[in-house]
Amino acid sequence: MGEEFAEEMEMKVKTTLKKPHFVMIHGISGGGWCWYKIRCLMENSGYKVSCIDLKGSGIDRTDPNTILSFKEYNNPLLQFLSSLNDNEKVILVGHSAGGLSLTDAIHKFAKKISLAVYVAATMLKTGYVTKEDIKDDSTLAAMLLRPGPIQALKSAYFEEGDDAEGVPRIYIKTTHDHVIKPQQQDAMIKKWPPTDVYVLESDHSPFFSAPFTLFGLLVKAAISVGCI
């Protein structure tokens, strides 16, 4: 079913040469490697894909215990966006705590982002402000693949950018998620309503468990806002 959906979405863009640049952001303790299935599907279909390793993640061997600020943790993504040509726009895709990285980027580089897609991700408009905000992301530490910069994540607070609300946002809700539970996802969606919500019947890591369906949804999201 997932493979058929991906093929259906891809057929809709066969006749156009306009294919966007997807930039993939991992969750805490992960790395760019998490997206390898999605990257293969996208590149085989002609899309440009960049998978970012945040500070202390992936191949960056910085001791996460020394990363105390979210600014330092998210710096690789911000540097990447800063290096883009002035007329170049990308689609940001963030998983889990990677949603914080997306929101930070939206506030700082709105004009370089054509779409932000939150995949079972933390979607908080200004970061951690209340105890309820922290609750929305409190179980991540129990799922760490390697030590993560917990202190840096908890310090995530964003000054609202002037153009941030102009960036379309899609939320992909995972219905069998035991990390960021569906009700927690619903709470974030209600608090900061995105442009649209897609529902995916998968666990917390659909790039592993449902890559074809996730690929199809990413293409669908790009089509919905005119990126394709």
Q: Which residues are catalytic?
A: 96, 177, 204
- Residue closest to 20 by CA, chosen among 83, 91, 86, 80: 91
Residues with Cβ within 8 Å of residue 114, at least 6 apart in sequence:
20, 89, 90, 91, 167, 168, 225, 227
End-to-end CA distance of the chain: 23
**What token pair was written down for 213?**
């369906």
Going from the C-alpha of 59 to that of each of 51, 67, 150, the distances in angstroms are 12, 15, 18
Residue type at 102 in one-letter notation: L
